[in-house]
Amino acid sequence: MRTLFIADLHLSEDNPEITAAFFHFLDKECEDVDALYILGDLFEVWIGDDEHTPLMDEVAKRLAHCATHNNTHIYYLHGNRDFMIGKSYAKQACMQLLPEHHEIELYGQKALIMHGDTLCLADLNYQKMRKIIHNRYIQFIFNLLPLSIRKKIGWKIRTASQSKKTTNAQMMSVTQDEVIRLLKKHQLKIVIHGHTHKVAEHKFEVDGAVMQRYDVGDWYQTLSFLEAKKEQLTLIIHPINYYSL
C-alpha cells in the first residue's frame, strides 16, 4: 500500500484541464492508496462553505467516491487560498481537516506536513496579513457578510496575490532556518509541504543527521505528487494530460 501527497492545484472554472487531470488522478491512482493528503490550495479561492458551484460540488463528489469506494482516508490541510474551507464542505467531501503543522507516521517513519506558507518568512507583508486573516474572530465576522460581498473580497485578494507572485517570486522561497527550527521542535527528519510551486527534494544535514524536505509542486504545467511506501519516498512528475493520453 502507499500514501499520496498533493498540493496547489488551484482548481477553478478558468482551468478545466487541471480539473480533468485531478479527476483522472483520483480514478487511476487512488485504487490502492491508504491515504491521500491534500496540503492546501486545492481551490483557487474559497469564500465559504455556503457557496455551491458545480465545480465545488463535483470535486466533493469525486473525493467522497474515492474515500468510500476505495476505502481511502482523505486528509486536508488548509492553504493560503482556501483556508476558509470548513467542516461542512469537509464532511461533504469525506475529508478530515488537519491543523497547519501536523505530524504523521509513514510506514515506520515520521514526517511533518504543512502547506508551506509559514516557511516563507522573507515575505514579511504576507506573514503580517496571515496573522490577521487566520484570526478566528476575523473569520467569524467575514462569514457573516453576504455571499456577494465575500466573493468580491475573495477575488480582489486573489488578483493581488497573483500580481505579487509574478513580480516577487523570490518571496515564496523557503527560509531554511525555519525548516530546521520546526524539525528540531518536532524531533523529526522529514518535512513535506507545498505552496512554493517548486517541486523538489532537498537533503541537508543538521548536527550530523540527514534531513529531507519535499516540496510536492503545483499542477500548472505538469502534475506532481509525493508517493510514500515502506521506507521509500518518491516525487512523481507527469505531463498535465498524462492520465488522458
Instruction: Report angle CA 41, 42, 45 to the nearest 5 degrees.
Output: 65
- 188-239 pLDDT, tens digit each: 999 999 999 999 999 999 999 999 999 999 999 999 999 999 879 999 999 9
Beta-strand (E) ranges in the chain? 2-6, 33-38, 73-77, 95-98, 101-106, 109-114, 190-193, 200-206, 209-215, 222-229, 232-239
Cα-Cα-Cα-Cα dihedral sign, residues 131, 132, 137, 141: negative
Pairwise pLDDT comparison (91 vs 45), residue with the higher score: 91
Average pLDDT over all residues of the chain: 90
One-character DSSP codes across 74-126: EEEE--SSSTT--HHHHHHTTEEEE-SEEEEEETTEEEEEE-SGGG-TT-HHH
Residue 116 has pLDDT above 80, yes or no: yes
Residue 164 has pLDDT above 70, yes or no: no
Cα-based distances in Å from 65 to 22, 36, 160 = 14, 13, 35
Q: What is the pLDDT of residue 163?
A: 52
Instruction: Report angle CA 115, 120, 124 to the nearest 5 degrees.
Output: 125
Q: What is the pLDDT of residue 234?
A: 97
Residues 35, 189 contacting (CB under 8 angstroms): no
Beta-strand (E) ranges in 147-199? 190-193
Q: What is the pLDDT of residue 103?
A: 98
Residue 36 has pLDDT above 70, yes or no: yes
pTM for the full predicted model: 0.91
Q: What is the pLDDT of residue 169?
A: 59
